[in-house]
Structure 1
Amino acid sequence: MSVFRTEIQDVGAQRGAGVLESRLTGLSREEFGRDVWARTAALTRGASDFSDVFSPSAVDELISRRGLRTPFLRVAKDGSTLPESSFTAPAGVGATIADQLDDTALWRAFADGATLVLQALHRTWEPVADLVSDLSTELGHPVQANAYVTPPQNRGFDAHYDVHDVFVLQIEGTKRWIIHEPLLPDPMRDQPWTDHRPAVADRAARGTAHLDTVLRPGDVLYLPRGWLHSARTQGHVSIHVTLGVHPWTRYALAEQLARAALAALRDDPPMRESLPLGASGRDGERDVVRERLLAAVAKADPAPSFERARRAQGRPAPLGPLAQLSALNGLRPTSPVRLREAVEPWLSGTRLFTRVGYLDLPASDLVLVTRLLDGRIRTAGDLGLALAERLLRAGVLLPGNR
């Protein structure tokens, strides 16, 4: 499939489209899933103005004023990662922290051609966190974000592939990207490119590029996991944000299925019996075990454990303890409340599961909780003060309007 290119300018946002359409690709979720997702590299020119998401001033603030520690930043030069001790220092009087970022050391490394990588940006910069949360909700897969700040005419890393999908958002400057098709399609997390370093280097050096292009501010490049890529800045400093999508796979579902089956076999008395003396695993015992295991797999339901694992990969929206306490102390029927974003709630019988734990509910509250999950609750009075207080204390509700 050829690379998809389009021209958009946030037109999707005007009609309430998802973040894929309004900010990243110009495609609806259905179109993206059908034509692009996990299939091919895709380039979108002028996808969005990302100045509200990240900027050079954001880089300076994070490095010089936020007191970040490792591993929130790493430094790379000529394909190698520099030791953390070369750009960290003690925090000074009153703080027993030895690995805060040293802005002077980072400036010297950057001036000498090093790339600064701000990691887990979805935990340190709110506009990026909001974008990541929206994208993760839309895709149904965990998303994280890094920013790469590269000085002119430099590269941070050798040609490589990632074990997750990426959206590259060009923020500042320009960067030339060279893309090759995968050596290992759909690599798992334990199959990194370093296991195939010679083949990756050979493909990058001698293979025909699938795409050779320069990204400019507002452009977005999507790469499925496994696609080889390398990048080099042009005449100015380049800043890009990478949204890394860590997809759930059929293999992950199979792991949960196997765990569910093994849990069932633990409660099967014959399976707990000792093997006969001298058992080799090549006698009739193997057939007995295979038969019971297949039967357990056929009956196992991996959905609950899969859902727990999936929810554990994301985080709910931020919660301010002081604002939460103030809301509880001043709770009135007219107090505005809202379901906490990205809390991933779901009802199973009378139990409400969320990313922050579960609550057992009386049957009389189920209708109200269902209305809350459907977005039809606006005030504490709509929900009932007792239930609203309980959900605020549990961190499922937040005060205020969206």
Structure 2
Amino acid sequence: MKTLQQLLAPYPADQFFAEYWTQKAIHISADHSQKFQTFFSWGDLNDLLNYHKLTPPDLRFSMDGKLLLETPAPRDWSDRLRQGATLIVNAVHHRVPTVAELAANLRYDIGYETHVNLYCSPAQYQGFECHYDTHDVLILQIDGEKKWFVYRETVLYPTPNMSSANQPKPEEPPYLECVLKAGDLLYIPRGHWHYAVACEQPSLHLTVGIESQTGLNWLAWLIRDLETNPNWRQTLPVVVDGNMNALEQELAKLRQNLIETLHQPDILHRYIDALAYRALPPLPVSLPAQMGADIFPNGFMTRFTWSPLHRIRVKQIGEEHYQVQVGAKQLDLKGIPVNLAENLFNRDEFSLFDIADWAPDLNLEGDITPLMTRLITEGVLQVKTD
């Protein structure tokens, strides 16, 4: 949980999960104000607004606690902010490389899909009225200060279909009031009501949404799995003159089939594996190397790195035979000496010189070049250009 621990520092991640995760909000003060500016900054926001075509629903404004029905034209964005509107940009992890890496690393740390939105609020204005989210959130204060009010849940573990807009607001006072300063983090569990007001300076923060899975998600996956069985797709018997015997018998058969399915030895692991590869980002494009050109631009000094958005999974099939999985891509690699495998698959970055040290008996032209060419053109390995 390297990335999550960096965000939570100095608070221990294991203590966070034991005492706060899904239970109550926590404000963690930073030891320095620049803590999150390696992920995002005002300059990144300006680049987004100036050089990306952002349209609703990815770009929205809220004012007086409510979303504006009409999004202003780009020439009017600054005016709206000066008038007190909050700017929201969704899915920043699809647009900013550092945020994409943050979201990907958190996904591997926690095991659930993550998404990142940004919020820019003018001084002394409230962005949204009091509400709750149907997913857990980590709020990373990039710059400025914002005062937060967090209330207990009124609906336990709400699902996406249980919007706060249809629920009465809490009557009890907030159990947490805090001012987030630059570098601070705030965790709010799903279902916990909250709102925030910017302080004396404009506020910029990222919200990391964590799409935790529930038993209902497992059942939904099971339904999709059962769709491969024609018995479950078959039309149920009609009820003729109120006689339900045939229907009851068919439902009993399906119930028995469901019980047998749930007792399959691999059913749980298949769901867990499905979670591991759910909604993974595609492998990065890296040209011209992926076209087979300029793969070794610096000769033996050329350095390589694995995809920054994925974790590599390696399974030994036999002697010098390995199955490598990066994202949705799976490769079968043969002729890989043990010492090469132990180093190659466990280093974030390496060079041709390193490979020569790890596998001195391999031939450069006959063994190493074809291996590296395949890994690069398949997209799992990248030529480091900086």
Q: TM-score range by the shorter chain?
A: 0.7 to 0.9
Structure 1 window deviating more from structure 2 (239-248 vs 280-289): it is 280-289
> Would the alpha carbon gap of residues 283 and 24 (structure 1) be closer, same or farther in structure 2, given more than 3 Å must change?
closer
Matching of residues 2-401 of structure 1 within 5 Å: 18-48=2-32, 49=34, 50-84=36-70, 86-88=71-73, 102=74, 104-196=75-167, 199-200=168-169, 203=170, 206-263=171-228, 265-266=229-230, 275=237, 278=240, 280=244, 283-299=248-264, 301-304=267-270, 306-315=272-281, 318-322=284-288, 324-325=290-291, 326-328=293-295, 335-346=302-313, 352-359=324-331, 361=332, 364=335, 372-375=344-347, 378-379=350-351, 381=355, 384-400=368-384
Structure 2 CA distance for partners of 1:333 and 1:175, relative to 1, 3 Å: closer
Q: Distance in 2 between matches of 1:385 and 1:318?
A: 21
- 1:230 deviates by 0.7
Distance 2:351 2:163 in 1: 49
Q: Between Structure 1 and Structure 2, which shows a larger proportion of helix residues?
A: 1
CA distance 1:344–1:245, change in 2 (3 Å): same
Q: 1:83 to 1:251 in 2, by over 3 A?
A: same
Look up the equivalent residue of 1:40 and give its one-letter code.
Answer: K
Identity %: 23
Could you give the per-residue CA deviations for residues 332-379 of structure 1, whole angstroms, max 9, x where no partner exists? 6764323223334435767544324333x2554596667543339834
- Counterpart amino acid of residue 133 in structure 1: A
What SS does structure 2 have at the residue aligned with 1:328? coil
8 Å Cα contact 1:356/1:395 also seen in 2: no
Q: Report the CA distance shift for 1:255/1:363 in structure 2 as closer, same or farther (over 3 A).
A: farther
User: For residue 20 of structure 1, what is the amino acid of its counterpart?
Assistant: L
Partner of 2:364: none
Relative to its length, the structure with more strand (as a share) is 2
Shift of 1:26: 2.0
TM-score by length of 2: 0.80
Alpha-carbon spacing, 1:262–1:70, altered in 2? closer, same or farther (3 Å) = closer
C-alpha separation between the residues in 2 aligned to 1:290 and 1:182? 36
Q: Give the TM-score normalised by the residue count of structure 1.
A: 0.77
| Secondary structure of residue in 2 paired with 1:378 | strand
401 and 42 in structure 1: CA distance in 2 versus 1, 3 angstrom threshold = farther
Aligned CA-pair RMSD: 3.3
Q: Structure 2 CA distance, aligned partners of 1:38 and 1:277?
A: 46
Query: Against the structure 1 CA distance between its residues 371 and 154, is the aligned structure 2 distance closer, same or farther, given a 3 Å change threshold?
Result: same
Q: Which amino acid aligns with 1:341?
A: P
Structure 2, unpaired ranges of 5+: 360-366
Distance (whole Å) between structure 1 residues aligned to residue 239 and residue 178 of structure 2: 67
Q: How many residues align?
A: 361
